[in-house]
Structure 1
């Protein structure tokens, strides 16, 4: 499916973790998944240059499920507000694992970035993650009401961002001006071309993804709901303009390409960024892989262009 091989720098970085583990995602507890992600981030950000932001504050948002921890990164002269949901298969990740990502996003776009520590599986099944993301967006909209408001996220966080945009459209608010979806999970179709082509990894296998999707989207509350998986929406018309970022060697690639086409067909302006030499999760190891670093710059350039094109209501 992809004639361009994985960047050798990516292969070298992943080799630092040793041979692939014989255990599957289903063999691990939630805490083991979380510890594994924390360890991976330590490797991915080793010796990374610090990224300064004018002001950083940890706060709490009052959500329908209780207090939601958020970290707010504020530049001196903000251009916009971006609400960011971290990746981690709805099980792992937090504000700390993505601190370097959100710092860079704020620095390079001039946005106030609100990083959301949403509730996760298995302790808090759907709709808890989406509810927290939605409630955080409502709160963030009051921070700088005169500036564009964007939802963003990577992987599972990209799924949440897309679902919040759908929900806001269908529930007539909050106002969301743009969405930034970095290799998001779109649906639970495990038989797409990319699912079959990249079924054995390198970072996550098809069977691992089957487990994560089963945990997230297989119980009654999620069945058929576009607020769980955005690919289930019958129409994408009326959604805010989007940046969709796709990794070349990724199980999710086919569904993401289809979602981008559907957005365009339904009249939504879309910028598609395809990084053919990269794998799922590249935003986390941009500090150590030059091609991922360049992809991050392309991403923030696209976000800056999107912010510049957003038309706010009078």
Structure 2
């Protein structure tokens, strides 16, 4: 029986969208909630772990949605892309129409709960990042379950990082990861450190999924308040991990030894289900004497607002400033 003193009992209540954010952000939040006040995304259900066909079908549907969303961000005058295969790893190499910095590179690790987000969406994302930073971007189209559980994605990220290091000096490289990509970015550097690989110049982690055990406070406090990610991703986490321990640092890098990691940019929002991931990572990096910035946006859910709200644009500018400040001049 649950301990009646272990926690706060909440009665049913409606949490309003605050007036402290832009009108565009409020409208974005409103669009993601039904008339009953329940987030639209809460109606989605995940297949059972053994249901391969169910996961493949869901992946296909989500891939189309992701690709359409990212494609809207790709400008008519944009980066060209060449897709290369290195061993079993697919890498989309995007070159901006105007190269601001020769010899520099941005490695983009896409989000998607470690199960979704590859293919056309990954390719388009590499184009967006290349144009944003004015450098060559390497989008890692890592393998995913159900056919390729852990450590396939992490292996692919290491393969891609080695490929980049063969072409760029490590201090000219910055690694960026969104959500699940943030998990892989840190896990890749932890494993790369063990294998003697040099660290990049900096690390950008946007609402990173750093704890697959979902032990942080916000996994309960922001449940259903995060209209983008209203509930647990544990079914995806277990599908990705297979038989591996979710608490292992290569799966939950929040639990790893962080000494030697590069300067880090962390972003989250007060309504982000993964808020605790960023907050705890910030404290751990500080204790390891790693230079770190933590950017927390008011009422922002997982992944931001519409992408065009003033807060989203401000975040993009913050990231660009951080990236430019950590490349050699």
Aligned equivalents of 2:129 and 2:46: distance in 1?
A: 30
Q: What residue in structure 2 maps to residue 312 of structure 1?
A: none
Q: Note the residue ranges of structure 2 that are not aligned, 5 or more in a row.
A: 1-14
Aligned equivalents of 2:263 and 2:181: distance in 1?
A: 18
Aligned equivalents of 1:108 and 1:79: distance in 2?
A: 16
TM-score by length of structure 1 reads 0.83
**Which one of 39, 58, 74 corresponds to residue 95 of structure 2?**
74
Aligned equivalents of 1:13 and 1:294: distance in 2?
A: 21
Aligned equivalents of 2:79 and 2:71: distance in 1?
A: 23
Query: CA shift at 1:154, angstroms?
Result: 0.6
SS at match of 2:77: coil
Q: Note the residue ranges of structure 1 that are not aligned, 5 or more in a row.
A: 310-314
Query: CA shift at 1:174, angstroms?
Result: 4.2
In the alignment of these two chains, the number of paired residues is: 298
Q: What residue in structure 1 maps to residue 120 of structure 2?
A: 96
Aligned equivalents of 2:72 and 2:170: distance in 1?
A: 38
Task: Give CA deviations for 1:250-293 in whole Å, capped at 9, x if unaligned.
Answer: 1111122111111111011112222223211238x42x444323
Q: What residue in structure 2 maps to residue 14 of structure 1?
A: 32
Aligned equivalents of 2:74 and 2:277: distance in 1?
A: 34
**Which one of 52, 59, 63 corresponds to residue 34 of structure 1?**
59
**Which one of 278, 287, 292 corresponds to residue 270 of structure 1?**
292
| Cα gap change, 1:102 to 1:294, in 2 (>3 Å) | farther
Higher strand share: 1
Of structures 1 and 2, the one with the larger relative CO (CA 8 A, separation 6+) is: 1
Q: Which moved more, 1:151-160 or 1:246-255?
A: 246-255
Is the 8 Å Cα contact of residues 186 and 229 (structure 1) preserved in structure 2? yes
TM-score by length of structure 2 reads 0.80
| Cα gap change, 1:237 to 1:49, in 2 (>3 Å) | closer
| Cα gap change, 1:263 to 1:291, in 2 (>3 Å) | same
Question: What is the root-mean-square deviation in Å for CA atoms of aligned residues?
Answer: 2.9
Q: Which moved more, 1:156-165 or 1:224-233?
A: 224-233
| Cα gap change, 1:148 to 1:84, in 2 (>3 Å) | same
Query: CA shift at 1:56, angstroms?
Result: 2.4
**Which one of 288, 292, 295 corresponds to residue 312 of structure 2?**
292
Is the 8 Å Cα contact of residues 52 and 103 (structure 1) preserved in structure 2? no
- Map 1:1-314; keep pairs closer than 5 Å: 5=18, 7-14=25-32, 19-20=40-41, 22-26=43-47, 29-41=54-66, 44=69, 48=73, 50=75, 52-53=77-78, 55-62=80-87, 66=88, 68-75=89-96, 76=99, 77-78=101-102, 80-145=104-169, 148-200=172-224, 201-207=226-232, 209-217=233-241, 219-220=243-244, 222-233=245-256, 235-282=257-304, 285-286=306-307, 288-308=308-328
